[in-house]
């Protein structure tokens, strides 16, 4: 398999993100929190830190992080937000910025996002705008955040018009992916994050998809396979971000399955108790492959293989399995209209010529999508 650059400790992996003038490392491994945090002393000498976390993650991991920061002499204030997508709002942003100002976080200080995608996106956006930009450290505590949202600098909040419509690119100075922090995730949350792992195989790495088919149980169990999977995903994302930070081209490939997924999330009111983002992505991945098959682009056996793997892991792969339910085909297409991948009514989809052979397809007709969704909804 792909060799990784080893970090300091046993089994440590370091994945560099090579952005000119803003390069940073992703440290991956079990129980590496304190040794990775120790780098902050050199990275930001004399800085204070605000730890932004949610009530749920705070109870599990904030005391350990505070102890690590204390060991390296970084004074930290904890700011706790309400868990859930609802915090990624204008009100949530104002509240967080005011709390950061009240904590006297200045230009040379650090905002540390300790949590899943919601915490990372909100804290990242606050760090981007506070005093016109404060340094950000991402310490992702969900699988989804470790393999996707903590890397690459996308930050933002939701608008009543749609998800992530208000935001900024703001790269972190360090990402610490301590894979032992994932041990506390529920089975549902872990599986949902796994959809984003397998996505990298489907985009352009058929060998990794094969490996996932054989190793997914060990990824869940937390052996070295988990670290390897996180590292492969981060390496793939780092490569894409380094060549297309602002999503003017290739970075859109990371949206495989997401046009469908965001529409389903919108129709369930972004309520993660009804539909977790990764579950929506799993359905979106299966739909992207079946839609590609319907368009005559992708062999049927590949579409079947994708769905079979998602089923084996316990993820939904059809609209009818969507935990929060779905709307009609018309409602799903209408929900896609607010997506950033839609321009003047014409859809841009990530489609596939096979497993590991995804590509950006511009100008997909809404009528074709609607007809496909009607078939999917009618299917047993
Ligand atoms: N989550 C997709 C991206 O970072 O571009």
Class of domain 256-380: mainly alpha
Residue 6: per-residue pLDDT:
61
Q: Over the range 10-30, which residues count as b (16 or more CB within 10 Å of their CB) and which as e?
A: ebbbbbebeeeeeebbbbbbb
88 catalytic per annotation: no
* 1-248 under CATH 3.40.50.1970, yes or no: yes
258 catalytic per annotation: yes
Start and end residues for every CATH 3.40.50.1970 domain found in the chain = 1-248
Q: Whose CA is nearest to atom 3 of ligand 1?
A: 254
247 catalytic per annotation: yes
Q: Whose CA is nearest to atom 2 of ligand 1?
A: 254
- Residue 151 CA, closest ligand 1 atom number: 4
Query: How far, in Å, is the centroid of ligand 1 from the Cα of 234?
Result: 11
Q: In testing the pocket of ligand 1, which one of 142, 168, 249, 251 has its CB within 8 Å of the most ligand atoms? A: 251
- Ligand 1 pocket check for 134: Cβ under 6 Å: no
Query: How far, in Å, is the centroid of ligand 1 from the Cα of 67?
Result: 32
- Ligand 1 pocket check for 356: Cβ under 6 Å: no
- Ligand 1 pocket check for 126: Cβ under 6 Å: no
Per-residue pLDDT of the chain (380 residues; tens, 9 = 90+): 544 556 656 668 999 999 999 999 999 999 999 999 999 988 899 999 999 999 999 999 999 999 999 999 999 999 999 999 999 999 999 999 999 999 999 999 999 999 999 999 999 999 999 999 999 999 999 999 999 999 999 999 999 888 899 999 999 999 999 999 999 999 999 999 999 999 999 999 999 999 999 999 999 999 899 999 999 999 999 999 999 999 999 999 999 999 999 999 989 988 888 999 999 999 999 999 999 999 999 999 999 999 999 999 999 999 999 987 788 999 999 888 766 556 666 788 999 999 999 999 998 988 999 999 999 999 86
- Which residue of the set 163, 228, 258, 309 is catalytic? 258
- Which residue of the set 247, 265, 279, 376 is catalytic? 247
217 catalytic per annotation: no
- Ligand 1 pocket check for 191: Cβ under 6 Å: no
Residue 36: per-residue pLDDT:
95
255 catalytic per annotation: yes
Residue 324: per-residue pLDDT:
76
Confidence (pTM): 0.94
251 catalytic per annotation: yes
Start and end residues for every CATH 1.20.1090.10 domain found in the chain = 256-380
Query: How far, in Å, is the centroid of ligand 1 from the Cα of 13?
Result: 22
280 close to 338: Cβ distance less than 8 angstroms: no
- Residue 153 CA, closest ligand 1 atom number: 4
132 catalytic per annotation: yes
167 close to 121: Cβ distance less than 8 angstroms: yes
- Ligand 1 pocket check for 152: Cβ under 6 Å: yes
| Residue 233 exposed, middle or buried by CB count within 10 Å (0-12, 13-18, 19+) | buried
- Residue 254 CA, closest ligand 1 atom number: 2
- Ligand 1 pocket check for 258: Cβ under 6 Å: no
| Residue 95 exposed, middle or buried by CB count within 10 Å (0-12, 13-18, 19+) | middle
Query: How far, in Å, is the centroid of ligand 1 from the Cα of 240?
Result: 10
170 catalytic per annotation: no
């Amino acid at each position: 398999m792909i060799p990784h650059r080893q970090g300091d400790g046993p089994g440590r992996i370091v994945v560099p993100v090579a952005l000119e003038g803003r390069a940073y490392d992703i440290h991956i491994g079990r129980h590496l929190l304190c040794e990775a945090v120790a780098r902050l002393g050199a990275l930001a000498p004399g800085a204070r830190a605000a730890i932004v976390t949610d009530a749920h993650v705070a109870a599990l991991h904030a005391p350990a992080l505070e102890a690590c920061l204390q060991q390296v002499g970084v004074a930290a204030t904890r700011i706790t937000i309400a868990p859930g997508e609802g915090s990624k709002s204008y009100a949530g942003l104002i509240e967080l910025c005011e709390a950061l100002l009240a904590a006297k976080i200045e230009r040379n200080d650090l905002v540390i996002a300790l949590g899943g995608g919601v915490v990372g996106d909100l804290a990242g956006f606050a760090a981007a705008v506070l005093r016109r930009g404060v340094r950000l450290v991402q310490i992702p505590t969900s699988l989804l955040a470790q393999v996707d949202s903590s890397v690459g600098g996308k930050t933002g909040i939701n608008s009543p018009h749609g998800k992530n419509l208000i935001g900024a690119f703001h790269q972190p100075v360090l990402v610490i992916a301590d894979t032992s922090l994932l041990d506390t995730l529920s089975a549902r949350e872990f599986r949902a994050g796994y959809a984003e792992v397998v996505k990298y195989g489907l985009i352009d790495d058929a060998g990794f998809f094969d490996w996932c088919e054989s190793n997914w149980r060990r990824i869940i169990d937390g052996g070295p396979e988990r670290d390897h999977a996180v590292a492969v995903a981060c390496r793939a994302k780092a490569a894409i971000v380094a060549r297309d930070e602002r999503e003017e081209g290739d970075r859109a490939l990371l949206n495989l399955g997401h046009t469908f997924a965001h529409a389903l999330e919108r129709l369930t009111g972004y309520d993660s108790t009804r539909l977790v983002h990764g579950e929506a992505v799993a359905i979106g991945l299966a739909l992207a492959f079946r839609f590609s098959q319907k368009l005559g682009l992708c062999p049927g056996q590949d579409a079947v293989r994708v769905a079979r793997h998602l089923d084996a892991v316990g993820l939904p792969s059809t609209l009818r399995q969507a935990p929060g339910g779905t709307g009609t085909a018309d409602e799903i297409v209408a929900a896609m209209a607010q997506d950033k991948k839609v321009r003047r009514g014409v859809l841009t989809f990530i489609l596939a010529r096979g497993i590991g052979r995804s590509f950006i397809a511009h100008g997909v007709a809404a009528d074709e999508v609607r007809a496909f969704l009607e078939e999917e909804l009618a299917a047993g």
